Chain A
Amino acid sequence: MSITLTLLIPIATAILLLCIPKDKTAELRMTALFGSLATLAFSLALLGGFDAQTVGFQFTEKHEWVSSLHIHYHVGIDGISLFLVVLSALLTPIAILCSWKSVEKRVREFHIALLLLTSGVIGVFVALDLMLFYVFWEVMLIPMYLLVGIWGSTERIRAAVKFFIYTMAGSLLMFLAILYLYQHTGTFSVEEIYQKPLTGTAGLLCFLAFALSFAIKVPLFPLHTWLPDAHTEAPTAGSVILAGVLLKLGIYGFIRFAIPFFPEAAALATPWISILAIIGIIFGALMCFVQEDMKRLIAYSSVSHMGFIVLGLFAGTSQGVQGCVLQMVNHGISTGALFLLIGAIYERRHTRRIIDFGGLAPVAPKLAIIFFITTLSSIGLPFLNGFVGEFLILQGAYSRNVFYAAFAGLGIILGAVYMLTLYRQIFFGETDRAENAEMKDLEGRELAFLLPLVGLMVFLGLFSPWFTSKIQPSVEQWLTSTSVVHWLEMVQKASGG
């Protein structure tokens, strides 16, 4: 029941918002915030009630939805999706808080879109019926499209349309593959399809359709071009959700659907995807060096980091996959925080060009400190969250192929260089501009949503075993499931022979 409630509360809040007059902005914001906090509370209840030792999905619910096609409302959570659900629920109130002052037009529609988006992404993470998953997968596109297109900056419409067409093109092909899979297996139930993996040419084509859709979402090089535009043009709240949650949907799709459904095809594709991931790591990092816009820089750093996560997954070892799941959460927190910080700076200065800044550290010390911790977390400093995930992924990549690990390591080094350079350019040096010298430091509201994230960075860094203990059993179970074992055997054979 609690999963359904977690899904329904944002929708119910959105409907409630429709009933509030549009000029009562304070009430609208409070209602939306309250609804999103209730969602967070329910997702935390899921976290609390989650039993790591139980095999399989928990909190499952199954009701018939469309009987003629055997589509069910079937939801459940395992260690892989658990933290992603909590992360999605966590970022929504933060997104609402960070837009408290910056979003002034169409406040009601903004919060409705944000809440529907939350329901959509949580739905994707909990759906255990392929068609239900697809419905949620597409449902969240419209709110995201509107968020970028209505509340974004100057080039917002182009970015929104690009984002939408890109992702829809991928997902419509996946839709065809899903229908084909249904024709082949006679079911939409994810767990039943695990028992009947699709092989041969049909399997390969269907895998390609799924993989294309997920790779666009991740985004994997060379399908990443929508991301810098969408990230840059989106309002801060949109960027936070986009980077924090939406990018993870692609990886999650690979874990939950693409690999176990089509193990043979996945094995064929594994070296290619790994290489694309490595190209993404290096390319994304190099692109960061030439960016003039802070937000664009973080967007490209996301391309790099996501390549990292994909690499960990396709390493196919226990460490690699655990690192991948953990790093998804870490990236959501750190990059989300970075976008929030840049949003705060933009609200004050109305520019994001790096050269417009300098010497902010003495002017805004709180901002400087939080930005610094976030930067360190993003580049994977020990005792902060990024380190554990990166370490596990590197370990996984190393056991698959030494070169993979070497390139990934290079990516980490480059990441440290561009992030620290960015930090130096913004916060150190002379405070030579009057606008910068007069800039206000973070206020209470901003600290209210930034400090929890900073706390999480430290907590995840220090107490990562608590997290991995929840993730590990599910990952082990995933790795020992028939079709995934088949995938790993074929990968082994291909690389060995």
Chain B
Amino acid sequence: MDNITTFLLTKLTLGQNAAAGLVSASDFQAILPAIVFIATGTLLLMLDCFNRGLSDTGKTRKDHSSLSTAINFIGLLGTVVAGAFACASMEQAEPSFAFQGSIRVDSFSSAVSLIIILGTFFSLLATIDYLRRFDAEHGEFHCLVHYATASMLLFVQANNLIMLFLAVETLSMAAYLLTSYLRDSRRGVEGGLKYFILGSFSSGFLLFGLTLIFGATGELDLQEIAKNIAAGKADRSLLLAGLALTVVGMSFKIGAFPFHSWLPDAYEAAPSVATGFMSVTVKSAAIAVLLRFLLLATEGDGEAWARPLSVVLSLLAIATMLFGNLVALMQDSVKRMLAYSAIGHTGYLLVGIVAALGPGGELAPAAVIFYLLPYTLMSIAVFTLLGYMGRDGKDRELFEDYRGLSTSRPALALCLLVVLVSFAGIPPTAGFWAKLYIFRAAIAGGHTWLALTGILASIVSLYFYLRLVVNIYMRPAEEELDADPDSNLASGLVIAAAAVALVVLGLFPDLDFGSLIKALGK
């Protein structure tokens, strides 16, 4: 036992460059975006204490709201600053390492970070109206979002098994709390608890898997693990079990069938803005990590490993695409429909991952990253809509609730039309190109069946996205919406920005992902 501890300690602290100091300034520079998020989150938490104090001593609502404004503003500002830092690290050509190689910064991790930060920014913007309307303006929401984002950034940058697990646990904790944020509602607590139990369960799988990988290769550093596997030094059966358990653990996190059962309940229970936040950022981070992890594991003697792995993942992808889209078809609640459709989108992303593993998969990682961008915009927009429509402390979740939206809010309806068309993957929106890149990568990798299943699932998905369009555009309103669009200014802004971005990205979809592909560590 002692031996193991000593061994671990050497691995952890004195790994590669024991001579150099334990940490240096450049180490912190590498995780600057995450630091900004942690700092802002903590600052907001402290500000929130004043907020409480104000409300306790019966100060006027005006003071109260000015403090809330400050919290909102600082939260958004922190996001922008972090985004700027992430942008700056996009530029660097070569990957750089920090904290004894446990953090790896390259253009891949920076691109995913940027997408996550974008999602965070939009979620925070939508939060402003939502929390005010639900009378739940506590700083801890912002704080949780910031902590979650920070841990996601570290998760994406993690280059070491321990770092990986620490980041994913921190991020899950924040996600559990966000799910049950509306603690007065029974549904929120129930969904949060379910998410917590199943999430902890999956973390167990993940931890066991990572441990087995460590046992099989004797290394914690991802690059070293990859080298050992490639050199054939690893214990095969142990490694296979470890990889399988890791994939299971990650499948929980991304909500792949059959590990999805927590997802619809958690999505439904969480406040809509939190659902939007989680559905895009957590998934983006987990998908990116899974992609990088599997690429490293199958590097070198790729063929032998890639085959069984890609068979398993193909089956997962097929099941996830079909299940998500078919079950979404039967939902009466828009929120649940979106939850199941999110499962379906996980399936498309898995197709991209499968394509990346095999020969001819050079294009697939870029396709996966491209997919995440419109997906982020679309998901945030629809979940913001759910919040926008909510009132009297309840989300308006049924399809019928959206009847006649095009008469009362024509501009909003038009933006939503764009978002839904993009969800369905119809040009000239970015959602079309996202699917195009994924399916093209699948065909290039010889996975025509996967692409065919994806197409069939897309045909199914048309129906439920259209169902919302039908309600918005073709059915008359049953009741008038409350005429107070001002109180929803920020939400409206989010939806409009997403719609414009989707069209612009759809007209100019030619992003240069060449650098990303190189940076993946191949």
- Interface residues of chain A, those whose CB is within 8 Å of chain B, are 22, 65-69, 106, 109, 134-135, 138-139, 141-142, 145-146, 149-150, 156-157, 160-161, 164-165, 168-169, 172-173, 175-176, 179-180, 182-183
Contact = CB atoms under 8 A, between A and B. Distances in A.
B214 interface: no
Given A69-B440, A142-B421, A176-B439, A161 B510 contact: no
A286 B133 CA distance: 61
Interface stretch (B42-50, B56-64, B112-120, B470-478): B470-478
B448 A65 contact: no
Nearest to B459: A169
A176 B452 contact: yes
B193 interface: no
A217 to B, nearest CB: 16
A70 B101 CA distance: 39
A183 B459 contact: no
Interface stretch (B33-41, B123-131, B425-433): B425-433
B436 interface: yes
Given A141-B426, A142-B426, A179 B451 contact: yes
A172 B510 contact: no
Contact of B455 (A69, A150, A172): A172
14 contacts: A69-B440, A135-B428, A139-B426, A146-B473, A149-B473, A157-B470, A157-B475, A164-B462, A165-B459, A169-B459, A172-B458, A176-B439, A176-B451, A183-B443
B134 interface: no
Interface in B466-522: 466, 470, 473-475, 509-510, 512-513
CB-based closest 3 A-B pairs: A135-B427, A66-B510, A149-B474
A169 B185 CA distance: 42
B444 interface: yes
A393 to B, nearest CB: 34
B474 A157 contact: yes
Interface string B448-465: 100110010011001100
B204 interface: no
B439 A179 contact: yes
Majority-rule SS of B interface residues: helix
Nearest to A112: B414
B463 A161 contact: yes
A139 B466 contact: no
B131 to A, nearest CB: 33
Contacts of A180: 443, 448
A150 B470 CA distance: 9
A138 B426 contact: yes
Contacts of A145: 466
Given A149-B473, A149-B474, A165-B459, 8 more contacts: A22-B410, A68-B510, A156-B474, A157-B474, A160-B470, A161-B470, A179-B439, A180-B443
B417 to A, nearest CB: 8
A68 B470 CA distance: 36
A135 B426 CA distance: 8
Interface of B: 406-407, 410, 417, 421, 426-428, 432-433, 436, 439-440, 443-444, 448, 451-452, 455, 458-459, 462-463, 466, 470, 473-475, 509-510, 512-513
Nearest to B444: A183
Majority-rule SS of A interface residues: helix
> Which of B407, B417, B426, B428 is packed against the most chain A CB atoms within 10 Å?
B426
A164 B432 CA distance: 16
A465 to B, nearest CB: 40
Contact of A160 (B436, B463, B474, B512): B474
Contact of A176 (B428, B455, B513): B455
A460 B128 CA distance: 64
Contact of B470 (A22, A149, A179, A183): A149
Contacts of A160: 470, 474
Given A135-B428, A156-B474, A179-B440, A165 B448 contact: no
A65 B506 CA distance: 11
Contacts of A176: 439, 443, 448, 451-452, 455
Contacts of A135: 427-428, 432
Nearest to A65: B510
Contacts of A142: 417, 421, 426
B27 to A, nearest CB: 35
B427 A139 contact: yes
A156 B455 CA distance: 27
A109 B426 CA distance: 20
Given A165-B462, A172-B455, A180-B448, A138 B432 contact: yes
> Which of A173, A175, A179 is packed against the most chain B CB atoms within 10 Å?
A179
A161 B474 CA distance: 11
A165 B452 contact: no
A138 B421 CA distance: 11
> Which of A68, A146, A161 is packed against the most chain B CB atoms within 10 Å?
A68
A139 B425 CA distance: 11
A350 to B, nearest CB: 20
Nearest to B427: A135
A135 B452 CA distance: 19
A175 B436 CA distance: 9
A142 B510 CA distance: 24
A450 B426 CA distance: 35
Contacts of B444: 183
A164 B421 contact: no
B459 A150 contact: no
A161 B464 CA distance: 11
Contacts of B509: 66
